[in-house]
Amino acid sequence: MKLSSAFRESDLARNIAANIARATTRRYNLMEFCGTHTVAIFRHGLRTLLPEEINLVSGPGCPVCVTSRSDMDRILFLADLPDTIVATYGDMMKVPGSGMSLSEKRARGADVRVVYSITDAVEIARANPASRVIFNAVGFETTAPSTAAVIRNARRESTDNFHILSLHKVTPPVVLALLEGGTAVDGFLCPGHVCSIIGSRPLEPVAGAYKKPCVVTGFEPADVLQGILMLVRQLEDGESRVDIEYTRGVRPEGNANALAAMDEVFCRVTSDWRGIGEVEATGLKLREEFASFDAEQFIDREIRSDPDPPGCQCGEVLRGEIKPTECALFAGACTPESPVGPCMVSSEGSCATYYQYAERTRK
């Protein structure tokens, strides 16, 4: 799309950066909730365009990073079952469970296959009717509706050997949980594509009850800078609203069709977020009508999980309390090749992003 490249013009970015510099009179901590934003900020070197007063803090918006160790242990348990193929996104392969990772399981003979999308996992199920195929379904609201659509189709087409372990999570309540716990964040750069689905309205309590301005922001360099400008202007004017920067991708009411698919297939349950703990009504579980597709049915015993490894500060990083570079393990004991915590595993984890973009040299 020609319009996409227009949002990457460097003159446009410089103009917005100059607007930010002129608008900013105080120091602000702004949290980019979404890991895709963190990557965009580093890839385009946007921090170098910002005045010193703007402190960008990464949040818990990486679905791989917030997957708890006990959820990893459940998928690792499933990978050991006979006649079972586990299909997963590549990012989940190296996340350490209590014992090992999926990658290590595969090296020891488990049938673990990396897929690009859930539809590839369904194809594997169709091609292997004698095996049960379990898809490790991670992701926020951007991803959950596609899982819902696939499950509906699997029921219609009786793809009975296809199952999911739903690790899907919904995001607005976790922002409220962060705020309940107390935070130094002044405003939130909110995830554009999550809001393509849910709209901007679920964020209203953040701006209303907690008085933290929110700007729903796109992912091109100019979008991210414009989102920051819109946050600074609200803060400077003493206002607190939910604004949409990414109007071409988000409507206030969201995507009713996708939300209906999600609601038809999933109900809300308590979910365990790494670094944050259990948050009510943030997990998506298959409804009773779709229970035959739920891989939970194969977990027939209690799985004990070890506590997180000593020294790992993924929790503090995910809550925006410390920067990745402030963790004692960063770039020493914990690297993308040999990760200790999930924030160093995922390509959108804040530790991996800081590491890749050479902040390690500034330690």
Partner 1 sequence: MCLAIPALIKEIDGNRATADVGGAMREISLEIIDRTAEIGDYVLVHAGFAIHKLEEKEALETLELMRKVFGQ
266 lines the binding site for partner 1 (CB under 8 A): no
Which one among 249, 287, 298, 316 touches partner 1, defined by CB under 8 A?
249
Alpha-carbon gap, residue 312 to 270, rounded angstroms: 24
Shortest distance in whole angstroms from residue 254 CB to partner 1: 8
167 vs 331 by CB, closer to partner 1 = 167
Q: Does 256 bind partner 1 (CB under 8 A)?
A: yes
- Which of 75, 78, 124, 197 binds partner 1 (CB under 8 A)? It is 197
Beta strands in the chain (DSSP E): 28-34, 54-61, 84-88, 111-114, 132-137, 162-166, 187-191, 214-217, 242-244, 266-273, 277-286
Among 251, 252, 292, 306, contact with partner 1 (rule: CB under 8 A): 251
CB of 273 to partner 1, least distance (A): 15
Residues 291-350 within binding reach of partner 1 (CB under 8 A)? 346, 348
Q: Which of 215, 218, 223 is nearest to 187 (CA)?
A: 215
Element (H, E) at 356: helix 350-356
156 touches partner 1 by CB under 8 A: no
Residues contacting 222, CB < 8 A, separation 6+: 7, 8, 9, 12, 13, 16
Residues 114-153 vs partner 1: string with x where CB under 8 A? --xxxx------------------xxx-xx-xx-xx----
Site for partner 1 in 215-234 (CB under 8 A): 219, 222-223, 226, 229
Candidate list 17, 31, 36, 224; residue touching partner 1; CB under 8 A: 36
Residues 279/228, Cβ–Cβ less than 8 Å = no
What distance in Å separates the CA atoms of residue 73 and residue 154, rounded to the nearest whole number? Answer: 26
Rounded to whole angstroms, the Cα distance separating 322 from 191 reads 21
Q: Judged by CB under 8 A, which of 17, 41, 49, 64 binds partner 1?
A: 64
Contact 110, 86 (CB under 8 A): yes
Is 62 strand, coil or helix? coil
Residue closer to partner 1 (CB basis): 305 or 347: 347
The dihedral over CA atoms of 81, 87, 91, 94, expressed in degrees to the nearest 10, equals 20
* Cα–Cα nearest to 284, from 296, 260, 297, 268: 268
Residue with tokens 């170098």: 48
Residues 90-109 that bind partner 1 (CB under 8 A): 91
Q: Which is nearer to partner 1, 341 or 349 (CB)?
A: 349
Contacts to partner 1 by CB under 8 A: 1, 3-4, 6-7, 12, 15-16, 18-19, 22-23, 34-36, 61-64, 89, 91, 116-119, 138-140, 142-143, 145-146, 148-149, 191, 193-194, 196-197, 219, 222-223, 226, 229, 245-251, 254-258, 261, 346, 348
